[in-house]
Every structure is written in structure tokens, then in C-alpha cells.
């Protein structure tokens, strides 16, 4: 994968970097995306039947079991080179913020420590009634299980369509997008707001915006660079290209 020389130069001098990831970064780990025509979850299921509070009230068992199926799929997969490259970037850039729409927890499993999980985490559950998070519950055979605190039904700890994102996380993501010098948009169709607004915030603030996606998206015409490829291939190539130890020392870096 050829990385443009001008982009390598920008990365060499960058100190504040942010990255937004979507389902595409986990595709090479075997986790289904949402909108990819053949394999995407939404190609086979109707999101409004499964990923909304109304769907859960209509059919809590169906929604709980669909997320249990997705949890099983995620438990059985491993992070891929794209996840590991992003964990390495966190170690090499002086200020690196990883913002993800994914709920699979693979960035944390790959070693990323500062991850803003805008849409929550599929391995966590919380009470649909009192909202308290439930790490463990007594299985009494009832599906969904009951909240140990109030007896209400438990629900997946993810953001559903029509729900607000956690305010603190969104504010931190918007701040990172407004302050960064380089903003990566990786493996996302750039269709779901407010996450899809983040690269726009970065562009308006004068950042270099780099898209990594095998297909075009609504962001493509606006991105400074649009690298047409798989995250698991492009991100390791990017990392290898700019020898980030010079990024740490900043100005006056040793000549190549």
C-alpha cells in the first residue's frame, strides 16, 4: 500500500491525532458490519426491529437474544492488525484519541487504553428501568434477566437508534476532533450522526482528514486523503511509513 509522501511528512510532525472507527475496522476479525451489502447485519435484519427502545419494549426476548448472539460472535474473535496498529499509534503520538462507534471491545483487547466508546459496549448490560449497570445477574431462566437492583428487565449496554449518546463521551470526542492536527476516519460508512460530524469538525478546524475504507463514503470527496484499502493492511503500512519515534521528538528530528 503506497502512502502519499506528503501524508507521511504530516504524520512525522503531528502531535495531536484523533481516529474515529466503525464496524469496518473489525470486519477482518470476522465481526459483521452493518451496511455492507452481502454480509452486513442490516442486510439481513431490520435495525428498527432490533436496535431501538421500542423494539425492546415490543419484544424484549428477541432483542436480548439477538445481542446475546452478537456477544457470542465477538467473544470468539480476535483483534486484527488494524486494531493493533491503532493501539501502537496511541503509544507513539504525544496526544492520541481513539473514538469508536463499535461495541465489540476489540480496541481495548488490542491494547488501546484511551477509547471513547460512543455507542457503548455489547459485553455490558444495564437495567431498562433504573439504568443501573449490571455486570452479573442470577440466571433464573428468564430472558431477558432481571435487574438485581430493581427487578426491571436488563438490556444491552449499547446506544440504540433514537437514543442520545453519552454526553461526556460525545463532548470529549468533539473536543479531540476540534483540536487535532490529523483526524483518521476508519472503516465507517459516515452515515450515522453525531459520529459522522466528527471529521467535519476536524476539517473546519483545519486538520488533515484521512479516510481509510475500501469503498467511497459521503466523507470521501471532503477528506484530505482517502486511502482505498482494508484497515488491517493500510494502518500497519501507515505506521511503518512515518517512523513515529521522530514524531515524539518533534522538530529537529534526526534525518532519515
| Residue ranges that bind ligand OAD, judged by CB under 6 A | 22-24, 27-28, 33-36, 40, 47, 51, 101, 119, 159, 161, 187-189, 191-192, 212-215, 217, 230-231
Q: What is the number of the residue whose Cβ is closest to ligand OAD? A: 24
Q: Which CB sits closer to ligand OAD, 23 or 127?
A: 23
Please report how close the Cβ of residue 232 comes to ligand OAD at its closest, in angstroms.
Answer: 6
- Calculate the alpha carbon distances from 103 to 64, 90, 113 in Å: 15, 19, 15
Please report how close the Cβ of residue 42 comes to ligand OAD at its closest, in angstroms.
Answer: 7
Length of the chain, please?
256
CB 204 within 8 A of CB 198: no
Q: Name the helix (H) or strand (E) containing 244.
A: none
Q: Which CB sits closer to ligand OAD, 17 or 186?
A: 186
The active-site residue, picked from 48, 83, 119, 222, is 119
Q: Which CB sits closer to ligand OAD, 8 or 191?
A: 191
Largest CA distance in the chain: 65
Q: Name the helix (H) or strand (E) containing 81.
A: helix 81-92
Q: Which CB sits closer to ligand OAD, 22 or 144?
A: 22
Please report how close the Cβ of residue 45 comes to ligand OAD at its closest, in angstroms.
Answer: 11
- 134 - beta bridge partners? 125
Please say if 222 is a catalytic residue: no
- Calculate the alpha carbon distances from 231 to 176, 188, 201 in Å: 21, 11, 22
Please tell me the distance from the alpha carbon of residue 15 to that of residue 231, in angstroms, as a whole number. Answer: 22
Please report how close the Cβ of residue 61 comes to ligand OAD at its closest, in angstroms.
Answer: 20
**Active site amino acids:** 119
Amino acid at each position: 500500500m503506497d502512502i502519499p509522501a506528503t501524508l507521511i511528512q504530516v504524520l512525522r510532525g503531528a502531535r495531536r491525532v484523533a481516529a474515529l472507527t466503525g464496524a469496518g475496522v473489525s470486519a477482518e476479525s470476522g465481526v459483521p458490519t452493518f451496511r455492507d451489502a452481502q454480509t452486513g447485519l442490516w442486510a439481513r435484519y431490520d435495525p428498527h426491529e432490533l436496535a431501538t427502545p421500542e423494539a425492546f419494549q415490543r419484544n424484549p426476548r428477541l432483542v436480548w437474544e439477538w445481542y446475546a448472539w452478537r456477544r457470542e460472535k465477538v467473544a470468539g474473535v480476535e483483534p486484527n492488525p488494524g486494531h493493533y496498529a491503532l493501539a501502537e499509534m496511541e503509544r507513539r503520538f504525544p496526544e492520541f484519541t481513539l473514538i469508536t462507534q463499535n461495541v465489540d471491545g476489540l480496541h481495548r483487547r488490542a491494547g488501546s487504553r484511551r477509547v471513547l466508546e460512543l455507542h457503548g459496549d455489547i459485553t455490558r448490560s444495564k437495567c431498562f428501568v433504573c439504568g443501573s449497570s449490571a455486570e452479573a445477574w442470577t440466571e433464573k431462566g428468564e430472558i431477558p434477566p432481571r435487574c438485581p437492583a430493581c427487578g426491571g428487565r436488563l438490556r444491552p449496554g449499547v446506544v440504540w437508534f433514537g437514543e442520545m449518546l453519552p454526553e461526556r463521551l460525545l463532548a470529549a470526542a468533539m473536543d479531540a476532533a476540534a483540536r487535532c492536527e490529523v483526524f483518521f476516519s476508519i472503516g465507517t460508512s459516515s452515515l450515522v450522526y453525531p459520529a459522522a460530524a466528527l471529521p467535519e469538525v476536524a476539517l473546519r478546524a483545519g486538520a488533515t482528514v484521512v479516510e481509510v475504507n475500501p469503498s467511497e463514503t459521503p466523507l470521501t470527496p471532503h477528506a484530505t486523503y482517502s486511502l482505498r484499502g482494508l484497515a488491517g493492511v493500510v494502518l500497519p503500512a501507515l505506521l511503518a511509513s512515518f517512523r513515529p519515534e521522530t514524531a515524539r521528538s518533534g522538530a529537529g528530528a534526526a534525518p532519515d
